[in-house]
């Protein structure tokens, strides 16, 4: 029995270090290769020993697919390919290929240079790893080998994020990665065609949330920034360098343009500048508005947003500053925050979630006096706002995608177990498909019934087509032919041709059947009664009464004879060839029911 | 194309005239006919290869064929068709047959048999499809012939089982276009059973080819369009197609479902997997709503558009479309809209400053949450958030239409519309503002909503701001804070964009007059009066101050207690503004001041009846009194014209009619005066100079008639006839005058002929209206036409003259709605003393901003004229994008005019004005032959010209010589 096996090495009932093994049609594919931000020990990378205990990675895996550049989806890649050792192809989209190494390098710097970790991958390893990458375009079908093919679909979420369809023969799996079903200011919505995969592996970060419209959030955000700037305050927006930051930039940029505002907007330099460059290049991956207007002006060439310099923080007058990192736990954003916290005209807007213990979390939970290092107490007078901008599909979006793809079964990853439970129940209830949510290391086995292609000769097909009058896609149709299995391919040919090909002579096969009828009349009369009965019942067939007293229906012969022992019983001899089996058996069952009494 | 059509029209006309005069011309025509088909025949015989033949056919197809020779050509084509082996040539012949059968004046029933005949022997699928197309063309040309239709339907049914999708497509198209409407059509003797076309087409809803499925649905829609009532059973079939794999099928299916839901809105359908039943229109609404989240944006647009026109849907279904239950971690959460509303009603004043503000509240029963609602839930929420702006616009439009028919829905959709004001695409923002304006009768804005609306006032796009001003003109605001907020924001807008001045004042005028009671408590603050102290008198020229005053005065109109709060200078300012900005400041009943009675009485008795009666009566009077002595008639006409003009000034709603009739009377008056001239009684050569008056009159009448024809909107054919008749009379006058004043016969010859052509042309164009013109000039003229044709010019002139003098005065029937086109140039204002300086030879851009009233299709006819002091005139055609359409019958032209000139020594004024361009050909019926050809040059009878319809504005400019 063919089957699809799925084993999450990470992201099974969990968020972080996405890594899913899929075996389909004898091929093994690894989906994503991420790190976990919650751990700093071995647990931060997926447990590749699960694979390596059976030999080398390259021997086992046919390919690796990376859905997008977030570190929880690609962070373990250099470790996996260079340190554990994998030489096969790695597939990702062009923007991911471009931006991924920047983030990996940044991650490495923090781990090695700041935290002083040893035994970590090096810059050279990142470079070597990226050499193994094969970039794919959207909707491009890539043949990994003769049987395995993959295809990328647009996923929203971040620049270059993609969903992948993995297909072997007629079996297929779709892996969504992270995706977003509502468009935002710089990216469009995820889209997939009705590809009807055997299995859909979807993320479920917001399995239990239905979100409010994006517009309200945007409007609130803009209004708050606008008000603060109008009264002459400074606005600090701590962000992570990639993803949301670009969305907010576009949002502010267009708003500034629309409203003719003059206050400067700054973006802290470094990582972001490089990334912005790629955003400018990959215009085709952005949303409708940006795609349509880039000829006049590339939206990512910001007019109002300039690079930030440390000295600007003390400039008088209103300004807006985007600074990293997003949780105010260190770096530039914290420095600026300390400078501005004392003035009630100023404002800080937290656009995302903050981990407990960070300054961001403290001020969000309403703390107004912060203890900084060196026993200083910082009094926070500035306004603190929270604004959630997240690019994952909510419960409705997930359901929408499932509805679009029409899979045979669904598998949930990248979410919390409790929330998955709810979504699983909903999916099973509304789509009536099976739904799985394996934990890490747990294997789901999915039996499939792949269709086997059979070739049919055109002549036979046309001949059979000509018999039926009306096309009806839904009704099965009976077709006579011979199935020839030769060299592992199947062909359906007409029996004559089969005989010819195999060099066989044709044998006639005839069925005969005796039906006992209780009828005291003469044989001829019985025959006439049978004739009239059949004539009335089988209107579509040619029923004839031959002069020798027998009745024929098409090529089926019926003869009536008196029973040798019981003269009150007549024996009907029905005889038909193998080709007429259908009609013949129908006829006998008809005759067995007896003749209608009306005639007597 | 149009020019080509015109040419053809004239060609034929001229030929007809010649036919009457000389016999040879007709022969010429006949000679050309056989040669056309013969040439084709020879060409086709010459063709050695299929490629050659194809070339000949292609060449042949470029030229039109006359109706009379079509049949011959068809025969030759058919003959060749039978011989031809190459399918591509047969294909071209088949397509040519279809094209030829469309020729006007040719009845294609004679070629139908052949077409069907060749259809039966044809093997190539492509040719088959093309032949079916030809049959379709034939069938549509003969809509009355039931037998042929039946036969064609039969043919189509026979080929429906073809293996090629193209053939099946065409068959279905044929069925859709020709399928018999009534099942009870008398059966033919041949025993052709009347087929149930709907059933046959319905069977193909499940064809294996998506293109055929689409064609089947389209055919069904076509049946509906032709008036056949579709069966309700189709509904279920169509619903199944909604989950088709192909977008074009889904898109067509959505349309079909909409059609059925409009046909059977009230019938009941069961809900699958439950015992409940609902109305069909509700079910269809739910299904179409579901399609708003379809995978293909084409389908989404289609679905969103159709939602708007489903007005019979029940209100609770309607309101579901805006419903989206939010939850977070399985707990119910309120939407931002709900929170805003609650904040508003509780009177609290913080807005989401805390992190936990939107914290989820109660737990949700997991079983009760339905993630994919099987209904309308949240359709608009999705549609408005869609990725493609086309979908968003469609959704906004649909919202608008539904909200117009349901006030409660209007109230509910307000939050969503307000949100759309922040869309990233300007078009969407504009559309939602317009939508809001359209439904403004049904809604009252809350303060928080108003806040969002007003924030858009700072938008840098002028269109958006003006649309918003229009919106504010007709919104209801609920609180006095709201009014204050609006005023403050508008003033902010005014300082930021001073060019918006007029629009803002107008906006405040309506805002004031709509909310007098809300303005009242604000007055002391707005005027900054103090109970004890006199405050400084504000600057009267400050636009912001004027804006405040406009608001207050308009509110005071219906609030008599308000003037008591005014300080002295306010009264003075009132008097000043009442004079200078009378359209913005209403007459007020001020204490101690006498009211200007006329203004109020005009308002009190807006009853239009007496004035309308007066208009009617004065016109009646003129029309009945035509046999008075000339002197009396003239006086009466003069009097009536004066009356009408005055009436037009007084009663703006009658201005169009009054002006129109006055112009007509003036023409008549001119004609009478001209005919009264002494010159007619005296020998011709003596009166060279005096004839000036008559020819001037003729010229003026011509001008006036063009004005009448093209400057008024709503002119019907009845009036056009009269106008043209008047113009013909003017031409006759011109002819007579020239005949009298010129010596020699030669020039006269041409003129006479031209005039007779005009008459002929008149007859041709208005043949249907001739019976109404009993006893008129043209009527008599046409009676004598045969004689005129043969007479010498001198005699013609004589006859024309007597008839002109005898002709009666035609009654001008008044159209229902008639408006005079007018334009006012707002910008440039023409007051500036500072000349616009620029280097000569280079260009300077002048912003022109004008409002146009009652101009149809301004994009093509409105021009800007610039007159330089040296008499040089320049005509500028504004871009179509420069015209905006802020309301029915109103247009706005915002454009830039580029001026340039050689150097002047002194600054000088150039005049800018707007012109209406007209083309006398626009009303001529067009001939239907289709193929394109060479474009002819101007035909002499078409007259193009321009009518100025705005006051000219003077702009001071100064081209300086370039410095080297």
CATH number at residue B853: 2.60.40.10
Q: d(Cα B152, Cα B625) in Å, to the nearest integer?
A: 63
Report the number of secondary-structure helices (H) and strands (E) in chain A.
Answer: 18, 30
CB-CB contact of B231 with B264 (8 Å): no
pLDDT digits (tens, 9 = 90+) for A433-468: 999 999 998 999 999 887 788 888 888 877 777 766
Which residue from A193, A259, A350 is facing B458, i.e. has the nearest CB?
A259
- By three-state DSSP, how is residue A149 classified? strand
Do both B426 and B484 map to the same domain? no
Number of domains comprising chain B: 5
User: What is the structure's pLDDT at A110?
Assistant: 79
Q: d(Cα B923, Cα B718) in Å, to the nearest integer?
A: 13
Cβ of B328 within 8 Å of Cβ of A209? The answer is yes
Last residue of a domain, one of B740, B772, B806: B806
pLDDT average, residue stretch A399-410: 91
- A580 or A179: which leads in pLDDT: A179
- For chain A, the average pLDDT equals 85
Cβ of B452 within 8 Å of Cβ of A219? The answer is yes
- Active-site amino acid positions of A: 203
> Using 50, 70 and 90 to split pLDDT, how confident is the model at A175?
very high
Residues of chain B contacting A401 with CB distance shorter than 8 Å = none
User: What is the structure's pLDDT at A595?
Assistant: 74
Report the number of secondary-structure helices (H) and strands (E) in chain B.
Answer: 40, 18
User: What is the structure's pLDDT at B596?
Assistant: 45
Do both B513 and B471 map to the same domain? yes
Type and span of the H or E element at A383: strand A383-386
Do both B853 and B887 map to the same domain? yes
User: What is the structure's pLDDT at B341?
Assistant: 62
- A435 or A245: which leads in pLDDT: A435
B353 interfaces chain A, CB cutoff of 8 Å = yes
Sort strands A90-93 and A63-65 into parallel, antiparallel or unpaired.
Answer: parallel
Do both B648 and B666 map to the same domain? yes
Question: Does B602 reside within a domain?
Answer: no
Do both B463 and B556 map to the same domain? yes
Cβ of B327 within 8 Å of Cβ of A217? The answer is no
> Using 50, 70 and 90 to split pLDDT, how confident is the model at A143?
very high
Chain B nearest C-alpha distance from A285 (Å)? 13
Chain B nearest C-alpha distance from A208 (Å)? 5
Question: Does B353 reside within a domain?
Answer: no
Closest residue on chain A to B462 (Cα): A258
Question: Does B781 reside within a domain?
Answer: yes
pLDDT digits (tens, 9 = 90+) for A98-115: 999 988 988 888 788 877
Chain B nearest C-alpha distance from A299 (Å)? 12
Residues of chain A contacting B388 with CB distance shorter than 8 Å = 288
Do both B261 and B113 map to the same domain? yes
Question: Does B601 reside within a domain?
Answer: no
Do both B558 and B658 map to the same domain? no
Do both B178 and B46 map to the same domain? yes
What's the token pair of residue B571? 């009264």
Cβ of A213 within 8 Å of Cβ of B325? The answer is no
| C-alpha R_g of chain A | 36
Residue B263: CATH number of its domain? 1.25.10.10
Domain that holds residue B918: 821-925+942-960
Q: Which residues of chain B register pLDDT less than 70?
A: 1-39, 181-195, 273, 323-377, 591-609, 625-630, 677-691, 743-745, 920-943, 964
Residues of chain A contacting B372 with CB distance shorter than 8 Å = 396, 399-400, 403, 430
Residues of chain A contacting B355 with CB distance shorter than 8 Å = 350, 364-366, 384, 386
Q: Is A283 exposed, middle or buried (0-12, 13-18, 19+ CB in 10 A)?
A: middle
Nearest to A401 by CA among A161, A99, A146, A190: A190
Sort strands A409-413 and A199-203 into parallel, antiparallel or unpaired.
Answer: parallel
> Using 50, 70 and 90 to split pLDDT, how confident is the model at A353?
low
Do both B168 and B265 map to the same domain? yes
Q: Which of residues 380-419 of B touch A (CB under 8 A)?
A: 381, 384-389, 416, 419
Alpha carbon distance, N-terminus to C-terminus of chain A: 59
What's the token pair of residue A401? 């995608």
Residues of chain B contacting A426 with CB distance shorter than 8 Å = 369, 371
Question: Does B77 reside within a domain?
Answer: yes
What's the token pair of residue B226? 């032709």
Question: Does B339 reside within a domain?
Answer: no
Do both B568 and B622 map to the same domain? no
Inter-chain Cβ pairs, chain A and chain B, closer than 8 A: 129
pLDDT digits (tens, 9 = 90+) for A256-273: 888 888 889 988 766 667
Question: Does B229 reside within a domain?
Answer: yes
Do both B215 and B307 map to the same domain? no
pTM of the model: 0.74
User: What is the structure's pLDDT at B251?
Assistant: 93
What's the ipTM? 0.78
Name residues whose C-beta falls within 8 Å of residue A54's C-beta, 6 or more positions apart in sequence: A60
B45 interfaces chain A, CB cutoff of 8 Å = no
Q: d(Cα B772, Cα B779) in Å, to the nearest integer?
A: 10
The phi-psi region of residue B289 (left if phi > 0; otherwise alpha if psi is between -120 and 50; otherwise beta) is: alpha
Q: d(Cα A377, Cα A381) in Å, to the nearest integer?
A: 13
Cβ of A471 within 8 Å of Cβ of B161? The answer is yes
Closest residue on chain B to A221 (Cα): B352
Question: Does B364 reside within a domain?
Answer: no
Domains of chain A: 3-210+391-444 (3.60.15.10), 214-386 (3.40.50.10890), 454-502 (no CATH), 510-593 (3.30.310)
The beta strand positions in B590-656, using DSSP E, are none
Do both B504 and B394 map to the same domain? no
Cβ of B371 within 8 Å of Cβ of A396? The answer is yes
């Amino acid at each position: 029995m063919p089957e699809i096996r799925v084993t999450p090495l990470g992201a099974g009932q969990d968020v972080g270090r996405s890594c899913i093994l899929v075996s389909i049609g004898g091929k093994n594919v690894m989906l994503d290769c991420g790190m976990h931000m919650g751990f700093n020990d071995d647990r931060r990378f997926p447990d590749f020993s699960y694979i390596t205990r059976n030999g080398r990675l390259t021997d086992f895996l046919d390919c690796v697919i990376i859905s997008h550049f977030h570190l929880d989806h690609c962070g373990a890649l250099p470790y996996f390919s260079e340190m554990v050792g994998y030489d096969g192809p790695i597939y990702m989209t062009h923007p991911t290929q471009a931006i991924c190494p920047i983030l990996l390098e940044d991650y490495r710097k923090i781990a090695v240079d700041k935290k002083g970790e040893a035994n970590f991958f090096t810059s050279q390893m990142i470079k070597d790893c990226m050499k193994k990458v094969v970039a794919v375009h959207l909707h491009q079908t890539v043949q990994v080998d003769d049987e395995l093919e993959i295809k990328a679909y647009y996923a929203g979420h971040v620049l270059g994020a993609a969903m992948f369809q993995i297909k072997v023969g007629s079996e297929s799996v779709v892996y969504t990665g992270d995706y977003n079903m509502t468009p935002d200011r710089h990216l469009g919505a995820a889209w997939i065609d009705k590809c009807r995969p055997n299995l859909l592996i979807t993320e479920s970060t917001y399995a239990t949330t239905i979100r409010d419209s994006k517009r309200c959030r945007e409007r609130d955000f803009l209004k708050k920034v606008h008000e603060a700037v109008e009264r002459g305050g400074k606005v600090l927006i701590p962000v992570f360098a990639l993803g949301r930051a670009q969305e907010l930039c576009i949002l502010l940029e267009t708003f500034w343009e629309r409203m003719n505002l003059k206050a400067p907007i700054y973006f802290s330099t470094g990582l972001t500048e490089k990334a912005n460059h790629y955003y400018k290049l990959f215009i085709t991956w952005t949303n409708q508005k940006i795609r349509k207007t880039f000829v006049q002006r590339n939206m990512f060439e910001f007019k109002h947003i300039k690079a930030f310099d440390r000295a600007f923080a003390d400039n008088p007058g209103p300004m807006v500053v985007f600074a990293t990192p997003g949780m105010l736990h260190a770096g530039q954003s914290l420095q600026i925050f300390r400078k501005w916290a004392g003035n009630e005209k100023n404002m800080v807007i937290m656009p995302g979630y903050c981990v407990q213990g960070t300054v961001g979390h403290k001020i969000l939970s309403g703390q107004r006096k912060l203890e900084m290092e060196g026993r200083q107490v910082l009094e926070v007078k500035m306004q603190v706002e929270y604004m959630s901008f997240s690019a994952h599909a909510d419960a409705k979006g997930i359901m929408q995608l499932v509805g679009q793809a029409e899979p045979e079964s669904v598998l949930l990853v990248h979410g919390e177990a409790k929330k998955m439970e709810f979504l699983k129940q909903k999916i099973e209830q509304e789509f009536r498909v099976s739904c799985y949510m394996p934990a890490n290391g747990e294997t789901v086995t999915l039996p499939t019934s792949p269709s086997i292609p059979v070739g049919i000769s055109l002549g036979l097909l046309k001949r059979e087509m000509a018999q039926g009058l009306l096309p009806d896609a839904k009704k099965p149709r009976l077709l006579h032919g011979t199935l020839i299995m030769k060299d592992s391919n199947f062909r359906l040919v007409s029996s004559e041709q089969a005989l010819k090909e195999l060099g066989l002579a044709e044998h006639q096969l005839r069925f005969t059947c005796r039906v006992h009828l209780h009828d005291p009349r003469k044989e001829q009369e019985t025959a006439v009664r049978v004739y009239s009965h059949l004539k009335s019942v089988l209107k579509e067939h040619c029923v004839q009464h031959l002069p020798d007293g027998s009745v024929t229906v098409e090529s089926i012969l019926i003869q009536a004879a008196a029973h040798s022992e019981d003269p009150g019983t007549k024996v009907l001899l029905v005889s038909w060839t193998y080709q007429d089996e259908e009609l013949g058996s129908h006829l006998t069952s008809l005759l067995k029911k007896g003749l209608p009494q009306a005639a007597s | 194309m149009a020019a080509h059509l015109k040419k053809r029209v004239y060609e034929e006309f001229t030929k007809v005239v010649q036919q009457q005069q000389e016999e040879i011309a007709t022969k010429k025509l006949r000679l050309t006919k056989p040669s056309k088909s013969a040439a084709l025949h020879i060409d086709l015989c010459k063709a050695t290869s299929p490629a050659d033949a194809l070339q000949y056919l292609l060449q042949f197809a470029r030229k039109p064929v006359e109706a009379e020779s079509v049949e011959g050509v068809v025969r030759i084509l058919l003959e060749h068709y039978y011989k031809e082996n190459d399918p591509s040539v047969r294909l071209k012949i088949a397509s040519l047959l279809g094209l030829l059968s469309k020729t006007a004046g040719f009845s294609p029933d004679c070629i139908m048999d052949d077409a069907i005949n060749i259809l039966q022997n044809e093997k190539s699928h492509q040719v088959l499809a093309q032949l079916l197309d030809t049959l379709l063309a034939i069938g549509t040309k003969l809509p009355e012939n039931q037998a042929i239709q039946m036969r064609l339907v039969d043919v189509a049914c026979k080929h429906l089982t073809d293996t090629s999708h193209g053939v099946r497509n065409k068959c279905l198209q044929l069925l859709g276009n020709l399928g018999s409407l009534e099942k009870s059509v008398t059966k033919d003797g041949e025993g052709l059973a009347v087929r149930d076309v709907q059933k046959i087409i319905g069977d193909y809803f499940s064809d294996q080819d998506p293109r055929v499925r689409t064609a089947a649905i389209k055919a069904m829609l076509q049946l509906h369009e032709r008036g056949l009532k579709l069966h309700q059973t189709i509904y279920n079939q169509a619903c199944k197609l909604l989950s088709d794999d192909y977008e074009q099928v889904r898109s067509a299916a959505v349309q079909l479902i909409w059609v059925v839901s409009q046909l059977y809105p009230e019938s009941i359908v069961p809900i699958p997997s439950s015992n409940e039943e609902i109305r069909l229109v509700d079910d269809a609404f739910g299904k179409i709503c579901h399609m708003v989240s379809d995978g293909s944006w084409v389908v989404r647009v289609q679905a969103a558009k159709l939602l708007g026109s489903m007005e019979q849907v029940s209100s609770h279904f309607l309101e579901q479309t805006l419903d989206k239950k939010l939850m977070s971690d399985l707990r119910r959460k309120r939407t931002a809209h709900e929170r805003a509303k609650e904040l508003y009603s509780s009177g609290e004043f913080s807005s989401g400053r805390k992190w936990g503000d939107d914290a989820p509240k109660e737990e949700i029963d997991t079983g009760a949450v339905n993630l994919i609602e099987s209904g309308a839930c949240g359709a608009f929420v999705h549609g408005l958030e869609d990725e493609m702006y086309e979908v968003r616009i469609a959704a906004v439009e649909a919202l608008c239409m539904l909200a117009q028919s349901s006030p409660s829905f209007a109230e509910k959709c307000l939050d969503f519309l307000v949100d759309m004001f922040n869309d990233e695409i300007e078009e969407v923002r504009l559309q939602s503002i317009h939508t809001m304006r359209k439904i403004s009768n049904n809604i009252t804005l809350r303060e928080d909503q108003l806040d969002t609306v007003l924030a858009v006032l700072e938008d840098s796009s002028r269109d958006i701001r003006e649309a918003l001003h229009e919106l504010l003109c007709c919104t209801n605001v609920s609180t006095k804070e709201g009014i204050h907020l609006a005023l403050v924001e508008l003033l902010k807008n005014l300082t930021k964009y001073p060019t918006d001045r007029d629009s803002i004042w107008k906006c405040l005028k309506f805002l004031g007059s709509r909310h007098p009671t809300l303005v009242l408590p604000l007055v002391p603050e707005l005027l900054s009066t103090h109970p004890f102290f006199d405050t400084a008198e504000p600057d009267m020229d400050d636009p912001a101050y004027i804006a405040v005053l406009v608001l207050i005065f308009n509110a005071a109109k219906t609030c008599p207690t308000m003037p008591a709060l005014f300080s002295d200078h306010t009264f003075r300012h009132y008097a000043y503004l009442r004079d200078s900005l009378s359209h913005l400041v209403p007459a007020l009943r001020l204490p101690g001041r006498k009211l200007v009675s006329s203004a109020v009485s005009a308002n009190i008795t807006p009853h239009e009846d007496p004035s309308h009666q007066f208009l009617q009566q004065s016109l009646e009077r003129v029309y009945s009194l035509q046999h008075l002595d000339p002197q009396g008639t003239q006086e009466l006409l003069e009097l009536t014209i004066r009356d009408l003009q005055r009436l037009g000034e007084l009663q703006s709603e009658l201005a169009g009619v009054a002006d129109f009739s006055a112009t007509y009377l003036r023409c008549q008056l001119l004609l009478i005066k001209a005919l009264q001239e002494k010159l007619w009684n005296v020998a011709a050569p003596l009166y060279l100079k005096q004839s000036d008056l008559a020819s001037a009159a003729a010229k003026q009448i011509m001008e006036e008639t063009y004005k009448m024809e093209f400057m008024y909107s709503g002119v019907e054919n009845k009036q056009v006839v009269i106008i043209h008749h008047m113009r013909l009379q003017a031409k006759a006058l011109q002819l007579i005058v020239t005949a009298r004043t010129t010596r020699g016969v030669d020039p006269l010859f041409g003129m006479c002929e031209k005039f007779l052509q005009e008459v002929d042309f008149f007859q041709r164009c208005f043949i249907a209206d001739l019976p109404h013109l009993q006893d008129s000039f043209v009527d008599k003229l046409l009676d004598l036409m045969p004689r005129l044709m043969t007479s010498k010019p001198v005699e013609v002139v004589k006859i024309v003259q007597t008839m002109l003098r005898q002709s009666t005065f035609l009654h001008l029937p008044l159209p229902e709605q008639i408006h005079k086109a007018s334009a006012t140039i707002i910008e440039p204002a023409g007051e500036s003393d500072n000349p616009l300086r620029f280097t000569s030879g280079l260009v300077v851009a002048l912003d022109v901003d004008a409002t146009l009233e009652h101009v149809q299709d301004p994009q093509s006819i409105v021009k800007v004229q610039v007159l330089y002091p040296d008499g040089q005139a320049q005509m500028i055609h504004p871009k179509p994008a420069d015209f905006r359409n802020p309301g029915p019958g109103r247009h706005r032209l915002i454009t830039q005019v580029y001026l340039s000139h050689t150097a002047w020594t002194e600054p000088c004024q150039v005049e800018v004005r707007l012109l209406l361009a007209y083309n006398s050909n626009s009303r001529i019926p067009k001939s239907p032959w289709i193929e394109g050809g060479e474009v002819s040059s101007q035909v002499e009878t078409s007259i193009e010209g321009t009518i100025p319809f705005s006051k000219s504005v003077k702009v001071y400019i100064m081209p300086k010589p370039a410095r080297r």
